Amino acid sequence: MDLYEHQARQLFAEHGVLVPKAEVTDSPAEARDIARRLGGRAVVKAQVRTGGRGRAGGVRLAEDPAAAERAARDILGTDIGGHRVRTVMVAEPVDIESEFYVSYVLDRAAGGFLAIASAEGGTEIEEVAAARPEAVARVPVDPVEGVTEEKAAEIVRAAGLPPRTAGVLERLWRVLTREDALLVEVNPLVRTARGQLVALDGKVTLDDNALFRQVRWSGRQAPREDPLEAAAAARGLNYVRLDGEVGVIGNGAGLVMSTLDVVAGSGARPADFLDIGGGASARVMADGLSVVLSDPGVRSVLVNVFGGITACDAVADGIVRALDAVRPTKPIVVRLDGNNAARGRAVLDGRAHPLVHQAATMDDAARLAARLAHIS
């Protein structure tokens, strides 16, 4: 379950992370009143479960209450990435000195969590990773040990963050564990002119399987507006639709996120995030390929699997069975590594499907998928 920004910020505040004062409304007139209560100047932000709001005109700085009313009127009802804006958040502005990126994400392939952090926040982390991969630190986190004072200091050093950020990292880890989250992201985490560390934006994805013990969210799952995301959710798939041309399927959130970065670095744009988890059966593969290939923007598909508990030959068998069920018309690039990878590659060689291509490494697979997307 993805939370809206204002809901994520509420959780941050409850766990001791500073956030600007803000209120949510669906009324332009009320946006004016909120701005007045906040002191006049305000930031008006569309509340939708997708990124790219700033580029789409969904974030406006209003110099006075009247401007806040106009901004809310302009934003409400618009479409951002296939999501209709039904509410806006009116927040106090912050005097920004520096911007950082911090997040925790579930890494199913590694059986733990991954801390991702950068001293270059404020923009899409994929763009930073593509332009300057050394600027993005990825630090594994043992779910049993968690983010201790020492682990937080390690993340800070790896990303080149201010030392005081360690305390924020510890508090964000409490958000993740106590709220049963799969993803906690702050972009940007800013240092203000007064030296405070403030979360200006936040994303939180809760584990649907744990909602029974998160009483406040019971019955609050909003219907998915994107039809492909709705179809994927109905099949139990962890799928987020993006706006590129290379469909990405992998087993484990960390592996899929890394694959997104490599695809972007190969000159193409990811079309989705689809994590099949650890049980890549024939049905799961067929469902995954069906959803990804239903996106008219997809021009090639990259399946990137690291075999662990699920062996690669079982994954390959699932792909072969899925080919007959889905009948693809777009090229599919498969990279298998890990447990029984050689057997898995042999299974795909034996099927010899004309649209299925194999690659030995993730980099090779991403380059091939990007090239096929550009010529298909």
- Annotated catalytic sites, by residue? 101, 185
Tokens (6 digits) for 221: 């799952």
If you search the block for the tokens 């992201």, which residue do you land on? 185
How many Å apart are CA 365 and CA 353, to the nearest integer?
A: 17
How many Å apart are CA 99 and CA 121, to the nearest integer?
A: 5
Q: On the CB side of 335, how many CA atoms lie within 13 Å of its CA?
A: 22
- Please, are residues 256 and 106 in contact by the beta-carbon 8 Å criterion? no
Strands of the chain (E only): list them.
22-25, 42-46, 59-62, 79-80, 83-84, 88-91, 96-107, 112-118, 136-141, 181-192, 197-199, 202-206, 238-241, 246-250, 272-275, 300-307, 332-338, 356-358
How many Å apart are CA 353 and CA 132, to the nearest integer?
A: 37
- Please, are residues 332 and 292 in contact by the beta-carbon 8 Å criterion? no
Q: What angle do CA 343, 347, 353 make, to 5 degrees?
A: 150
